[in-house]
Chain A
Amino acid sequence: MSEQKPAQGLPDKNAWRRFQKNRPAVVSAWFLAFLLLIVIAWPVLLKISSANFAQLHNPDQLSDAQFSAPSLQHWFGTDLHGRDLFSRVLFGAQISLLVGVVGAIVSLVIGVLWGAVAGYVGGRVDAVLMRIVDVLYSLPSIIFVIVLITTLGGLLKQSHLVQNSPALEGALRVTLLFVGLGAVSWLTMARIVRGQVLSLRTRAFVEASRALGGGPVRILARHIIPNIFGVVITYLALTMPAIILYESFLSYLGLGVQAPMASWGTLISDGVSQINPIRIYWWMIIFPGGVLVATLLALNFLGDGLRDAWDVKGR
């Protein structure tokens, strides 16, 4: 562990300064911000633009312009159904980024709470909690995910909650995917946080607070959690790409989001079937694949930058 930690409060200013010196990380941050901007702005733009433009770029609008190469009309070309690929990549980005963010947050919340409680309370509780983590570690996560998606999807269908609202059902189904992915990726977080908390627990400022009569909740909230901020934010940036990749794998297995909705995973697995010796509709793999890889690269560089800036170790 690093030796000089601020006593409490927000992350220190030096960290920000160190981060700003890391050029790849800064470029990545700008790239991600830019991507986010387009992803958010594009649907709005479609709403306010002329009907003709909106129709042409509606991600779900089928047309006869099947497999057309990139052109001024369709910047990324079109797919089998004649849908505009540019729009589909951007709408797919919504899903993929959301999967990444929500999945990472879910894994973060479970992981931080689990690890913090285990590390802080210690003793038998710690042992039990960490044994559970061990068990889940040894279970191939794909079995868990497959069962979760097939089972809960079925239960959802039967429940009265969504019986009369297919829109709500669709939203819940996507949420299920997010939560499922988050639920299988919190284990590492729990282990790291526990380690951090264990070492912080015995430190002077925590001991002092305890001596002054601070309860465990207060100590966790005021001293411990702020001090693991660096780990957490770094981890967030590094978990997102993993979860986005996992989603694309699930799409390849046919377990991803429901058509006609798209995610980068479904777009890429559509595109991959275009790689063959006879004819390649290259735009169907290059564009979704390129955007995915660029985003994951940016997230990784960002995560590395954050980690170096906060001097986080022990992943």
Chain B
Amino acid sequence: MYFARRLTFAIPLLLVISALAFALVHLAPGGPFDRERAPASPEIERNLKAAYHLDEPVWKQYLRFFGLVWQKGATGHWHHEPASFNISYKYRSHRVSDIIGQALPVSMTLGALAFGFAMGVGLPLGFITAARRGSWPDYAGSFLAILAVCVPGFVVGPLLILVFSVKLHWLPVALWESPAHMILPAIALGLFFSGKIARLFREGMLTAAQSEFIAAARAKGLGENLLLLKHAVRIAILPVVSFSGPMLADLLTGSFVIENIFQIPGIGVFFINSALNSDYTVAVDLALLYAILLVVLNLIVDFSYTRLDPRVKYE
């Protein structure tokens, strides 16, 4: 079975990624216990590093990450050392799984809403610009779509807040408490992708319009609009579908910029901060989380492909 095979291939992929991420974060200078205030004596820092096994060689720390270390105890017995993947060096009161368990649903909700916004705006925009190719709605629509991919998110966010929250008082300025709080961040996050989708869909529509079986349908005398709707859309959606995999992986794992501007307790800030703070295990955990999401989403994408396009088959 094709999909089962794909999933088994994912395991070595994840191993390589974890090793790579582990090596990368350990390469960066500084450690998780560097503080503005120096410890009262060098022994304290040494103790701290030893307590979290940061004084071990990196390969051993990597094995420890997965709980693959056995140590000879004082009594001469070998005993299993607990895995370290669930420990955060920076937030020592929390388990990584608790942090992810709390922050990921928030990011996923926001990501799903942003995805909805991106599709809801991008697909119609792509359709209109394709159906009216060469006319002013096409130019205006295409311009908007490109504009959306050109403005940095850290500019869009504050502008939306200024207009809709501060000036018009329609929506809350920040925080994550009610559905109303979700609207602005979802738009700010989804805007870039809506432009991307509009462009992809327009392209797909134009390609589909030239393809042979649309010509055949046209010969059968079906009306132009209906024709586009019925047949072209099915094909034109394919590039959008294949882009959806990586796009969703990005959206669902949160955005540093949006979470920072709107003060949303999501997982996106942890991606950046864990790397900046040398919170090794969290950085690697999140890299793995991202990779797993990507694998799963790409599988879903390929599965949808077989349903959408009868020409595609996986053996």
A–B touch (CB < 8 A): the answer is yes
- C-alpha gap A139/B166 in the complex (Å): 38
User: In the complex, what distance in Å separates the CA atom of A305 from the CA atom of B267?
Assistant: 39
Taking the complex as formed, is A245 at the interface, i.e. its CB lies under 8 A from any CB of chain B? yes
Verify if B16 is at the interface (C-beta below 8 Å from A): yes
Stretch at the interface among B32-40, B62-70, B271-279, B306-314: B271-279
**Cross-chain contact A142 with B275 (CB below 8 angstroms):** yes
In the complex, how many angstroms separate the beta carbon of B97 from the nearest chain A beta carbon?
19
Query: Of B16, B28, B239, which one neighbours A146 at CB under 8 angstroms?
Result: B28
CB neighbours of A134 from chain B (8 A):
13
B152 within 8 A of A: yes
Q: A140-B290, A275-B162 are in contact. Are A297 and B21 (CB under 8 A)?
A: no
Q: Shortest distance in angstroms between A287's beta carbon and chain B's nearest beta carbon?
A: 13
Q: Are A140 and B271 in contact (CB under 8 A)?
A: yes
Does the CB pair A151–B27 fall under 8 Å?
yes
Contact A151 B147 (CB under 8 A): no
- In the complex, A163→B186 CA distance in Å? 48
Which of B17, B161, B239 sits near A139, CB closer than 8 Å?
Answer: B17
Choose the segment among A11-19, A201-209, A248-256 that binds chain B (4+ C-beta atoms closer than 8 Å): A248-256
Per the bound structure, the CA–CA distance linking A135 and B24 in Å amounts to: 14
User: Would you call B287 and A140 a contact (CB within 8 A)?
Assistant: yes
A147 close to B (CB within 8 Å):
yes
B72 to chain A, nearest CB (A): 34
- Chain A residues with a Cβ closer than 8 Å to the other chain, count: 38
The answer to whether A151 touches B28, judged by C-beta atoms less than 8 angstroms apart, is yes
* Interface: B294 (CB within 8 A): yes
On whether the beta carbons of A135 and B17 are closer than 8 Å, the reply is: yes
Give residues 266-304 of A contacting B (CB, 8 Å). 268-269, 272, 275-277, 285, 289, 292-293, 296-297, 300-301
Q: Which residues of A contact B286 (CB under 8 A)?
A: 140
A71 at the interface (CB under 8 A from B): no
How would residues 20 to 42 of chain A score, 1 for a CB under 8 Å from any chain B CB and 0 otherwise?
A: 00001000000000000000000
Instruction: Check B25–A143 contact: CB distance below 8 A.
Output: yes
Docked CA distance A191–B8 (Å): 23
Residue B159 is within 8 A (CB to CB) of chain A in the complex: yes
- In chain A, residues 193-245, which have Cβ atoms closer than 8 Å to a Cβ of chain B? 241, 245
Could you say which residues of chain B place their CB within 8 Å of the CB of A159?
Answer: none
B21 lies within 8 A of A293 (CB): no
Produce 1/0 per residue, B234-248, CB < 8 A to A. Answer: 000001000000100
**Shortest CB–CB separation between residue B153 and chain A, in angstroms?**
8
Instruction: Verify if A4 is at the interface (C-beta below 8 Å from B).
Output: no
Instruction: Tell which of B30, B275, B294 has the most Cβ of chain A within 10 Å.
Output: B275
Partner pick for A138 among B149, B272, B291, CB 8 A cutoff: B291
> Do the beta carbons of B155 and A268 come within 8 Å of each other?
yes
CB of A50 closer than 8 Å to a CB of B? no
In whole angstroms, how far apart are the Cα atoms of A285 and B203 in the complex? Answer: 33
Task: Give Cα distance in the complex from A137 to B159, angstroms.
Answer: 32
Within the complex, the shortest CB–CB distance from B190 to chain A, in Å, comes to: 16
Q: Which residues of B are found within 8 Å of A47, using beta-carbon distances?
A: none
Interface 1/0s, chain B 137-171, versus A by CB < 8 A? 00100010011011111110011011000100000
In the complex, A293→B286 CA distance in Å?
Answer: 32
Closest B residue, CB atoms, query A265: B152
Nearest chain A CB to B223 CB, angstrom units: 27
- Select B275's contact among A143, A275, A300, A315, beta carbons within 8 Å: A143
A147 pairs with B28, CB closer than 8 A: yes
- Chain A residues within 8 Å of B, Cβ to Cβ: 24, 131, 134-135, 137-140, 142-144, 146-147, 150-151, 154, 241, 245, 248-249, 252-253, 268-269, 272, 275-277, 285, 289, 292-293, 296-297, 300-301, 313, 315
- A and B contact pairs by CB, cutoff 8 A, 15 listed: A24-B139, A135-B20, A139-B287, A139-B290, A140-B271, A140-B286, A146-B28, A147-B27, A154-B29, A249-B152, A249-B257, A276-B162, A289-B155, A292-B150, A297-B150
7 closest A-B pairs by beta carbon, nearest first, are: A296-B150, A275-B158, A138-B291, A277-B166, A146-B275, A147-B24, A300-B146
